[in-house]
């Protein structure tokens, strides 16, 4: 059996059986390494060498967690939650429905902005979602819907808009790697190339909102009251300082291209302003790091997992096996390449990391099959994006879970990973294939 299929298959089966994702990644890496002929020592060496690749991301999320706790202490998110709760209590069923759509729209817009306008990625989730969770629970909103809404906003914008994270994915990674493989991209509009696959994401979102999760879902209100309904004093000064800290963190992140320094600067503003007392900084910092620790550890383990897959050399073997089935058929070729991209990205958990691997293998195959440069960009970009949503190790699924599961009522696999996989990967696969055929 191919090592990539074995590793990803074991990781997914264990995750679906509610084994913790970190354990599933480690066991999957061992199975993949042994299946690929590395042996136990070489597998462990490859896994350990890959751990450092996730360290920067893990530290960034830890510091963002501390920054999030400081913002929560300022009362900014609680002020928003209090206003929403007052609207729910004041209005009847029709009014509560308006609040429901207002909150869904707010999380959707903020998630989109986190990729292009204010590129903080999942950092907004621990800031905004836990204080709103009481209101969402009282409205009996299905948290699987909220997970789908946020995941849409975390992925679709960088797929199609070349700004913020989209600039990194589309220009610096996708186009650069396609060009490096010998394709002329000078006349390609990358937004046109990725527009049809992005429509697949829109289709999945509409299905989640209006079909799958439109009914109410009851959660235990007492559990969220124990966790989140803590009185937080806020006033214009605390909210103003929070706004200043957010702006400072954003500007510094853009100037220095470092989430770590940006989050640290924002945290220091809270300390200097007195919103966070100096004697409280140690405990508050530790609390924030603990909040994001799970994401950090999973990202580190995912880096080790990805390194084992690379070390086996069987990603290329998987593609070559798929090529044997193509028989010069563009339709079959496009479908198989997208399926391989889905499999590899689900294992690695990041489209940003997958595209360079896939481009080196897919581009020559696409040229041989006669695909246009626009279709080649679409195939490689869609193959990379497939699996970013619906992967147990993707920060685009881990982020929503971190906010929605603060009271233990939202399971990462069954309430985030499976719903986002079904609603986004399947339409993305179909729309990506259509785009490859018509471009």
Per residue in 108-134, is it b (16+ CB within 10 Å) or e — as a string? bebbbbbbbebbbbbbbbbbbbbbbbb
Helix, strand or coil for residue 386?
coil
Helix, strand or coil for residue 38?
coil
* Residue whose C-alpha is closest to residue 165's, from 100, 213, 197, 118: 118
Token match 């937004």: residue? 191
Strand ranges, E, within 258-325: none
Each residue's pLDDT expressed in tens, for the chain with a length of 439 residues: 788 888 888 888 887 787 877 888 889 889 988 998 888 989 998 888 888 766 666 676 677 777 777 777 776 666 766 676 676 666 555 556 778 888 898 889 888 987 776 666 777 787 778 878 888 888 889 999 999 999 999 999 989 988 777 887 888 888 988 887 778 888 889 999 999 999 999 999 999 999 999 999 999 888 877 665 555 666 777 878 878 887 887 788 777 767 678 778 887 888 788 777 777 777 777 776 766 666 677 767 877 887 888 888 887 777 777 777 777 788 988 998 898 888 888 877 777 777 877 787 788 888 888 899 999 999 999 988 887 888 887 888 888 998 898 888 999 889 999 999 999 999 999 999 999 999 8
Rounded to an integer, what distance in angstroms lies between the CA atom of residue 330 and that of residue 332? 6
pTM of the model: 0.77
């Amino acid at each position: 059996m191919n090592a990539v299929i074995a590793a990803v298959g074991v990781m997914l089966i264990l995750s679906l059986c509610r084994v913790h994702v970190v354990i599933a990644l480690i066991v999957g890496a061992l199975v993949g390494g042994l299946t690929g002929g590395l042996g136990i020592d070489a597998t462990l060496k490859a896994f350990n060498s890959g751990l450092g690749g996730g360290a920067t991301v893990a530290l960034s999320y830890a510091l963002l967690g501390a920054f999030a706790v400081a913002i929560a202490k300022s009362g900014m998110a609680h002020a928003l939650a209090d206003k929403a709760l007052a609207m729910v209590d004041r209005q009847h069923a029709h009014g509560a429905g308006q609040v429901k759509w207002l909150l869904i729209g707010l999380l959707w817009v903020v998630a989109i902005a986190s990729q292009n306008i204010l590129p903080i990625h999942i950092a907004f989730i621990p800031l905004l979602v836990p204080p709103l969770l009481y209101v969402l629970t009282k409205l009996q909103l299905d948290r699987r819907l909220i997970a789908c809404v946020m995941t849409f906003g975390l992925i679709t914008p960088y797929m199609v808009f070349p700004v913020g994270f989209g600039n990194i994915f589309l220009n610096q990674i996708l186009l650069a790697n396609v060009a490096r493989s010998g394709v002329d991209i000078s006349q390609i509009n990358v937004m046109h190339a990725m527009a049809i696959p992005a429509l697949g994401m829109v289709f999945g979102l509409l299905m989640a909102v209006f079909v799958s999760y439109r009914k109410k879902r009851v959660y235990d209100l007492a559990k969220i009251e124990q966790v989140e309904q803590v009185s937080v004093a806020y006033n214009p000064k605390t909210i103003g300082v929070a706004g200043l800290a957010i702006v400072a963190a954003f500007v510094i992140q853009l100037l220095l291209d470092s989430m770590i320094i940006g989050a640290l600067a924002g945290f220091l503003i809270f300390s200097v302003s007195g919103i966070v007392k100096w004697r409280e900084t140690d405990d508050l910092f530790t609390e924030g790091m603990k909040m994001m620790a799970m994401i950090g550890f999973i990202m580190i383990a995912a880096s080790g997992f990805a390194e084992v897959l690379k070390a086996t050399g069987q990603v290329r073997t998987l593609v070559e096996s798929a090529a044997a089935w193509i028989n010069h058929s563009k339709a079959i070729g496009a479908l198989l390449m997208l399926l391989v991209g889905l499999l590899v990205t689900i294992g690695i958990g990041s489209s940003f990391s997958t595209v360079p691997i896939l481009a080196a293998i897919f581009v020559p195959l696409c040229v041989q099959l006669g695909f246009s440069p626009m279709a080649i960009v679409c195939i490689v970009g869609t193959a990379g994006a497939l699996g970013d949503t619906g992967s147990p190790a993707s920060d685009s699924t881990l982020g929503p879970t971190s906010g929605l599961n603060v009271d233990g009522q939202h399971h990462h696999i069954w309430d985030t990973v499976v719903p986002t996989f079904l609603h986004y990967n399947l339409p993305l696969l179909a729309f990506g294939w259509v785009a490859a055929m018509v471009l």
